[in-house]
Amino acid sequence: FGEVHMSMNPNNPLNLFAAFNSTGGSAGTVPFVSSNGGLTWGYVTPTWGATMFGDPGSAYDSLGNLFYENMSGSGTIQNCRVIKSTDNGTTWGASVIAVLGNDKNWIAADQSAGPYSNYLYTTMTNNGTGSFYRSTNNGTSFASTTSFSTQSLPGMMVAVGPNTVGGDVPGGCVYVVTNSGSAFASTYTFYASTNGGTSFTLK
């Protein structure tokens, strides 16, 4: 087992989603949902429509939509796909390619009521660079806005927070952390975007 990821619905904290890598699971991962705050869990089996390789990521947006991400590709890992559920994992929509790359991915949603509300952001190591993609249409499609040359190892991450410089803009900052150097002496580089992931500055 490994690569465990869990998310909570901001509209209903009793709704939880968790997934982890397993050679015995569907698409290389084992996903579960709970509707009672984790007292009991049920196994879900979404259909991806592609060959999947694991490394799950998940996020709820402010509307309570659940987004589940896994690595995919033809023969080798080439990208990540995302599927969406509007009923806490009971049913799922068709998968879409969310980000290109070959190793560890991450996904985050803007849960605020700010100007970029419900934007989705995803990152992935892509053969020595870092891919950054976003969705501005509730996960229907994703597009690249930038790449990061300081990403060479697995472990790139994205997160969302407020922009408190010169005001207080909910969801106004998107943060990306890249990972380079060596496995036992990593260099972490921080970037921030104040325009919904259109562009980033080094912090």
Burial code (b: 16+ CB inside 10 Å, e: under 16) for 85-111 equals beebbeebeebbbbbbbbbbbbbbbbb
pLDDT at 2: 53
Higher-confidence residue: 46 or 61? 61
Q: What is the separation of C-alpha 168 from the centre of its chain, rounded to a whole number of angstroms? A: 25
pLDDT above 70 for 24 = no
pLDDT at 89: 92
Percentage above 90 pLDDT, the chain: 77
Percentage above 70 pLDDT, the chain: 95
Confidence of residue 30 (pLDDT cuts 50, 70, 90): confident
pLDDT in tens, 73-96: 998 999 999 999 999 999 999 999
pLDDT above 90 for 10 = yes
Confidence of residue 110 (pLDDT cuts 50, 70, 90): very high
pLDDT at 117: 97
Torsion, CA 72, CA 85, CA 157, CA 161, rounded to 10: 160
pLDDT in tens, 94-109: 999 999 999 889 999 9
> How much is the average pLDDT of 130-142?
98
Instruction: Note whether 27 and 55 are within 8 A (CB).
Output: no
